Every structure is written in C-alpha cells, then in structure tokens.
Amino acid sequence: MPEKTDVWQGTLALMVLKTLDTLGPLHGYGIARRIEQTSGNLLSLNYGTLYPALLKLEQEGSISSEWGSSENNRKAKFYKLTRAGRKQLEREAQNWEQTTAILARFLSPSGGAA
C-alpha cells in the first residue's frame, strides 16, 4: 500500500469547501474521512490541521456550523457551505486549475515550449 502524504499547503480549504458542496452538512470527522476517501486513501489528514482550517473558514463566512447528533448519537458540530463559501469555492477551483495547468507546462516533455 502506498505511503500516505500530508495535505498540500493551500489545498485544504478547497477540499473542505468542495466536500461540503458535494455532500452537504458534515461534522469534522466526516469531512476528514471523505477527503481521505476521495484521495484514494493517499492523503493523511491531521486533525490539528483540519479544525483550525474549519475555524478559519467559519470566521471568513465561507461555512457556518451548528451542533447536532452524529450517526452514533454523539454531540458533534456540523459544518455547511454558505453563499460566500460557494463563491470562494468557484474562485479557488479556478485558481487551482490555472496553477496545475502552469505546472503541467513545466512537467511536459517539451517544457512548455510552443
């Protein structure tokens, strides 16, 4: 089995926003599991990284939260995407697509020469 890698800097917010956009409200553990699952279990998500990112996204107004009960009947904070979060998701997705296109030019056999 391949070794898990850490989440790349600058991508966690995008992954959280996209996960909430796709699945709707989730608690932190559910978000973490879904990100790891979507990566094919190649990413390792540290909770010391996830929860500060959730707090930052909430303070920025991209997500909101409320307390509820998890699947196993435990008290959990559920996060959901806000209207501002949908706009941020669009911007970040476009930025990421542009960044990966630029990097692909450097990694192509021709080195991006036209």
Does the residue 114 lie in any domain? no
Predicted pLDDT of residue 114: 54
Q: How many residues does the chain have?
A: 114
The model carries a pTM of 0.85
Predicted pLDDT of residue 113: 58
Instruction: Tell me the per-residue pLDDT of 45-104, one tens digit each, with 9 for 90 and over.
Output: 888 889 999 999 999 999 999 999 988 899 999 999 999 999 999 999 999 999 999 999
φ and ψ at 25, to 5 degrees?
Answer: -55, 135
Does the residue 56 lie in any domain? yes
Does the residue 86 lie in any domain? yes
Where does the chain have alpha helices with state H?
A: 12-23, 28-38, 47-60, 83-107
What's the CATH code of the domain at 80? 1.10.10.10
Provide the residue range defining the domain that includes 10.
5-107
* Overall domain count for the chain: 1
